[in-house]
């Protein structure tokens, strides 16, 4: 059967639902907690349209023009994407801190080469705190589609040319089911199944199957109307009732099925005309690609500029209007000229624009490569305000590059450890441990002291501690190897004289609640061991990073402004945290350095020798950590005398 490629207005309406769901989710609108599932709608639509295009061409000519296909894809996707990357680069250059600009530069290069999904998967999850600080995070979905386009046409050509007619749909169903099964097999690996293309194939396949189903359409328009209404209901409810904690695949599956219902029932007579000819949905649907590309960088840059966690209602409206206007401009002056064919882009002005754009793109890719390099660019630190001295930046840089020289016992006893030293102190913790380990090692250099660093970072849900054994079945982050080390090196652990816990909000239940079980496991091996809990200092809001505040306000001390303080690590506040009451009876010594350093907030240390007290919202800088230890050493030496660091 030969299919005629006919423009379907209802697809624009489905696109509108998809993109508006994503926008409302990112604008923090209540009721759209699952709005990010709009991306799943796009995947189903893409599977349908690409499959229909391929089947039609092969049916008409028994061949397929791959060159023409990829040229059309480039014309469709590249111009608006490149424009977004270019203006985002310049805004990022002005606003972003070195750390964030370095990450941004890497994501820009990844977007150009269609591997954004791998880039962000290798970093952190879509729902992590830092995700709101990544202007190009949304390009992961474009990379998934582009990777799909690289494989799918060749696969379809092999299945359809001179092959039994049923082979194509049977194979697509099989691949789709396999992809769906992968989601269940790897349930719990949220970032893996979210970002990587094989776990999304079932959605493309679902759209593809609709092409074959439409060859035998139901004649009963009532049934089609029921499917149309059901599809809208399923999508709307799924987006509205989304709740974290439930496996995402269930939501993705429902939204994908709802989208398939909408595509199949697009010709429904009753209510279908409203669906197909709705001018508002059609307008947003036609501009959905530009809306999707533009909205997220604008949201991120706006939040970055005003240093806020979320948008107010009025801010969301303003950002929505700006996004819509820019998307309309992008659609008219960038998307359409390229999509209308070669004839529309051979005019001298357009040709010149293309050449200039390509030159700018090449320059930006080269610049981004330099900024992304740890060795050369390092996020272009020279853009930071002059209040951060070059000497202070150099100290922090040297600290980061020297961490490989510390004595660590994460998976084995590193060769940097001197086992001949009598006083053995374990500095244990999560992402805070690196800074404090390096600070302790440099402030206290007694001949008989050896600091050992143990990091349980990202293993907080994976260690199982029962009596005299630590186990883990999690290979990610080498948690299983760390657990094995703890179980097999009891003799060594029994020689540890002191433990210093350097952790994020140590008595907070939400941050590694089992860490005290791990401490008790080691104490059973050496009942005389001394245990110190290192407190925290001031912390800012989760998305109000100190480096952002310093860059915007030009003052090292601005991080401690009342507008930004979210947590004060004092002993009194610690007492209210869930784990405190159970742990206090075990004889742990809590070092409340916030209270030790400042009796009143105005007296507190607000900067550290020309460097901020922290760069993000909670991790102390090395310069500050070192200053803290030196100050306590001078004012309250009793703490360090007890563990043999001072005479």
Same domain, 124 and 252: yes
Domain end, chosen from 341, 372, 403, is at: 372
The Cα 625–Cα 631 span in angstroms is 10
Q: What integer pLDDT is reported at residue 161 of this predicted model?
A: 80
Q: Pick from 415, 427, 443, 387: which is nearest to 624 by CA?
A: 443
Count: domains in the chain: 2
Domain of 416? Answer: 390-538+569-641
Average pLDDT over residues 547-571: 81
Domain end among 342, 372, 402: 372
Q: Among 278, 257, 262, 267, which Cα is nearest to 228's?
A: 262
Q: Are 396 and 346 members of one domain?
A: no
What is d(CA 48, CA 148) in angstroms, rounded to the nearest whole number?
A: 13
pLDDT of amino acid 127? 47
**Per-residue confidence (pLDDT) for residue 557, from 0 to 100:** 82
Instruction: Check residue 343 and report its DSSP letter.
Output: G
- Report how far residue 504's alpha carbon sits from residue 512's, in angstroms, rounded to the nearest whole number: 9
Kindly state the percentage of the chain with pLDDT values over 90.
Answer: 42
The whole-number average pLDDT for the span 508-515 is: 67
| DSSP 3-state of 425 | strand
State how far the Cα of 154 lies from the Cα of 58, in Å rounded to an integer: 12
Residues 166 and 274 in one domain: yes
For 566-604, the pLDDT digits (tens) are: 777 776 667 666 666 666 667 888 888 888 878 666 678
Same domain, 295 and 185: yes
CATH of the domain at 630: 3.40.50
In a domain, 266, yes or no: yes
Q: Give the highest mean pLDDT range of 58-67, 198-207, 210-219, 601-610.
A: 198-207
User: Are 253 and 397 part of one and the same domain?
Assistant: no
Same domain as 368, residue 410: no
Last residue of a domain, one of 346, 372, 398: 372
Whether 147 shows a pLDDT value over 90: the answer reads: yes
Residues 88 and 191 in one domain: yes
Specify the higher pLDDT residue, 418 or 128: 418
Query: Same domain, yes or no, for 365 and 401?
Result: no
- Contacts by residues 395-404 (CB-CB < 8 Å, ≥ 24 positions apart): 395/609, 395/611, 395/622, 395/623, 396/611, 396/621, 396/622, 396/623, 399/435, 399/438, 399/622, 402/438, 403/434, 403/438
Report whether 596 contacts 604 (CB < 8 A): no
Asked if residue 131 and residue 13 are part of one domain, the reply reads: yes
Contact predicate 235/179, CB 8 Å: no
Is there a domain that residue 439 lies in? yes
**pLDDT score at 90:** 95
What average pLDDT score do residues 326-330 get?
96
Q: Are residues 472 and 520 both part of a single domain?
A: yes
- Structure confidence at residue 3 (pLDDT): 44
Q: Are residues 239 and 282 in the same domain?
A: yes
Q: How many Å apart are CA 456 and CA 470, to the nearest integer?
A: 12
Instruction: Report whether pLDDT(1) > 60.
Output: no
Strand order through the sheet with 423-429 = 449-455, 423-429, 498-502, 530-534, 589-591
* Pair (354, 395) in one structural domain: no
Mean per-residue pLDDT, 119-127: 71
């Amino acid at each position: 059967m030969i299919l005629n490629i006919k423009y379907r207005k209802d697809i624009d309406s489905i696109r509108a639902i998809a993109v508006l769901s994503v926008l409302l989710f990112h604008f923090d609108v209540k009721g759209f907690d699952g709005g990010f599932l709009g991306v799943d709608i796009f995947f189903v639509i893409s599977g349908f349209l690409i499959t229909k295009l391929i089947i039609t061409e092969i049916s008409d000519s028994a061949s397929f023009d791959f060159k023409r296909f990829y040229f059309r894809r480039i014309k469709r996707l590249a111009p608006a994407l490149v424009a977004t990357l270019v203006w985002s680069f310049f805004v990022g250059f002005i606003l972003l801190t070195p750390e964030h600009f370095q990450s941004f530069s890497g994501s820009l290069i990844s977007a150009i080469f269609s591997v954004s999904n791998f880039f962000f998967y290798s970093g952190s999850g879509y729902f992590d705190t830092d995700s709101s600080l990544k202007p190009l995070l949304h390009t992961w979905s474009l990379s998934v589609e582009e990777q799909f386009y690289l494989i799918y046409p060749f696969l379809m050509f092999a299945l359809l040319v001179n092959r039994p007619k049923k082979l194509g749909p049977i194979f697509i169903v099989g691949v789709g089911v396999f992809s769906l099964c992968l989601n269940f097999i790897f349930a719990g690996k949220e970032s893996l199944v979210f970002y990587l293309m094989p776990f999304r194939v079932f959605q493309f396949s679902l759209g593809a199957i609709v092409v074959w189903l439409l060859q035998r359409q139901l004649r009963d328009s009532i049934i089609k109307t029921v499917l149309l209404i059901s599809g809208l209901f399923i999508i709307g409810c799924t987006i509205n009732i989304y709740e974290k904690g439930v496996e995402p695949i269930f939501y993705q599956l429902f939204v994908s099925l709802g989208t398939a219902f909408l595509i199949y029932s697009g010709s429904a007579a009753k209510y279908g005309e409203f669906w197909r000819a709705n001018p508002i949905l059609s307008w947003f649907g036609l501009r959905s690609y530009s809306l999707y590309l533009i909205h997220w960088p604008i949201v991120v840059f706006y939040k970055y500029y005003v240093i806020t966690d979320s948008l107010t209602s009025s801010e969301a409206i303003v950002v929505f209007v700006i996004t819509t206007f820019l998307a309309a401009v992008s659609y008219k002056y960038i998307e359409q000229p390229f999509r209308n064919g070669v004839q529309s882009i051979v005019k001298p002005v357009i040709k010149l624009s293309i050449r200039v754009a390509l030159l700018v793109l090449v320059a930006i890719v080269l610049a981004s490569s330099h900024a992304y390099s740890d060795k050369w660019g390092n996020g272009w630190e020279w853009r930071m305000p002059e209040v951060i001295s070059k000497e202070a930046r150099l100290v922090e840089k040297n600290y980061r590059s020297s961490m490989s020289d510390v004595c660590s016992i994460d998976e084995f006893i590193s060769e940097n450890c001197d086992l001949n030293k009598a006083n053995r102190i374990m500095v244990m913790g999560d992402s805070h441990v690196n800074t404090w380990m390096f600070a302790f090692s440099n402030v206290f250099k007694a001949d008989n002291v050896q600091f050992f660093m143990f990091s349980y970072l990202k293993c907080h849900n994976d260690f199982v501690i029962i009596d005299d054994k630590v186990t883990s079945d999690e290979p990610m982050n080498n948690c299983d190897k760390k657990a094995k080390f703890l179980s097999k090196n009891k003799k060594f652990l029994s020689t540890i004289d002191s433990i210093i816990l350097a952790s994020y909000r140590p008595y907070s239940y939400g941050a590694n609640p089992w860490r005290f079980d791990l401490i008790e496991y080691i104490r059973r091996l050496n009942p005389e061991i001394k245990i110190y809990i290192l407190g925290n200092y001031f912390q800012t809001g989760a998305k109000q990073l100190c480096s952002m505040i310093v860059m915007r306000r030009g003052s090292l001390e601005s991080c401690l402004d009342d507008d930004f303080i979210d947590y004060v690590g004092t002993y009194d506040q610690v007492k209210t945290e869930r784990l405190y009451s159970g742990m206090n009876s075990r004889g742990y010594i809590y070092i409340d350095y916030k209270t030790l350093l400042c009796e009143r907030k105005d007296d507190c240390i607000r900067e550290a020798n020309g460097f901020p007290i922290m760069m993000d919202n909670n991790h102390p800088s090395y310069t500050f950590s070192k200053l803290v230890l030196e100050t306590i050493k001078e004012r309250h030496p009793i703490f360090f005398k007890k563990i043999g660091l001072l005479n």
